[in-house]
Amino acid sequence: DTAVSQTPKYLVTQMGNDKSIKCEQNLGHDTMYWYKQDSKKFLKIMFSYNNKELIINETVPNRFSPKSPDKAHLNLHINSLELGDSAVYFCASSQGDSQETQYFGPGTRLLVL
Amino acid sequence: DQQVKQNSPSLSVQEGRISILNCDYTNSMFDYFLWYKKYPAEGPTFLISISSIKDKNEDGRFTVFLNKSAKHLSLHIVPSQPGDSAVYFCAASSGGANNLFFGTGTRLTVIP
């Protein structure tokens, strides 16, 4: 039974489009995250979110927005996609504080043409 | 500015020998360090961690060493097995923050 799942696995789209990536965790965790792994394989935090606060990495463009319909889901919406958004996006979850292991989803490979 | 660095993009080791993966960091506020393992087309999976109050943590074949003065940590795998072939990411966090800062990974290949 998958702990952290993401859909879709692959996403190919045109520049300027708006797209969403969904993430669900069945671990009962209260904090979820989005990471971007760029072409240089650098995994960088984009957002962390629990039911109290959203922490945004200041380098993330405001075209990216996380939406959490409930504690088990944190979806990533991207508006006006750009070529540089092409990357693998990983969702993760943890029980809360920095000492807890984060569990990652399988990743969504986004290609913007 | 990359606060966690893995300077070796790849490493090849014979089966049965020791694999040593290295990681350096620049932020002296980091107090918790983790190693993740990643197979192709999968997300990173947690392997082992160490708090800054320790200098060594061992779990089976995996041992992580922390040298705070040098801002360096290493992961030792002994004996190495072909199933250990993967990309290994070093990560760090600082007190109270949820964010993990990752290195760029080292691809380990264990040759049978």
pLDDT the model gives residue A96: 66
Which among B42, B49, B89 has the least Cβ separation from residue A43? B89
Average per-residue pLDDT for chain B: 92
Tens-digit pLDDT profile for residues B97-111: 567 889 989 999 999
Minimal Cα–Cα distance from B61 to chain A, Å? 19
With 60 as the cut, is the pLDDT of residue B96 above it?
no
Contacts of A70 (CB under 8 A, 6+ apart): none
Nearest to B78 by CA among B35, B18, B20: B18
For residues A104 and A23, what is the distance between their CA atoms, to the nearest angstrom?
Answer: 10
Determine the pLDDT at residue B93.
Answer: 86
The three-state DSSP-derived secondary structure of B42-106 is CCCEEEEEEECCCCEEEECCEEEEEECCCCEEEEEECCCCHHHCEEEEEEEEECCCCCCEECCCE
Q: How many CB atoms lie within 10 A of CB B58?
A: 12
Question: Does B32 touch chain A if contact means CB atoms closer than 8 Å?
Answer: yes
Give the nearest partner residue to B105 out of A41, A55, A104, using CB atoms.
A41
**Is residue B2 very low, low, confident or very high in pLDDT (cuts 50, 70, 90)?**
confident
pLDDT score for B55: 96
Chain A residues near residue B34 by CB distance under 8 angstroms:
101
- Average pLDDT of the residues in A42-46: 86
List of chain A residues whose C-beta atoms are within 8 Å of the C-beta of residue B94:
98
pLDDT computed for residue A1 by the predictor = 60
pLDDT tens, B69-85? 999 999 999 999 999 99
Can you tell me the distance from the alpha carbon of A105 to that of A67, in angstroms, rounded to the nearest whole number?
A: 17
Choose the closest CB to B43 out of A55, A90, A99: A90
pLDDT band at A97; cut points 50, 70, 90: low
Q: What is the CA radius of gyration of chain B?
A: 13
Residue B57 has a pLDDT of 97
- Is there a contact between B73 and B6 (Cβ–Cβ < 8 Å)? no
Lowest average pLDDT, out of A3-7, A10-14, A68-72, goes to A68-72
Counting residues of chain A whose pLDDT is more than 90, the rounded percentage is 59
For residue B78, what are its two tokens?
């002994």
Q: A76 CA to chain B: closest CA distance, Å?
A: 17
Contact assignment for A42 to B36 by CB distance below 8 Å: no
Token pair belonging to A80: 């006006």
Quote the CA–CA distance of A95 and A103 in Å, as a whole number: 10
Of all residues in chain A, the one with the smallest CA distance to B49 is A101
Handedness of CA B65, A91, A53, A96 (dihedral sign): negative
Q: How confident is the model at residue A38 (pLDDT cuts 50, 70, 90)?
A: confident
What's the rounded Cα separation, in Å, for the pair B66 and B51?
9
Residues of B in contact with A87 (CB under 8 A): none
- pLDDT of amino acid B54: 95
pLDDT surpassing 60 at residue B5? yes
Kindly state the tokens that stand for B26: 């620049």
Cβ separation B100–A102 shorter than 8 A = yes
Which of B43, B89, B101 has the CB atom closest to A105's CB atom?
A: B43
How far is B2 from B68, CA to CA, in rounded Å?
A: 18
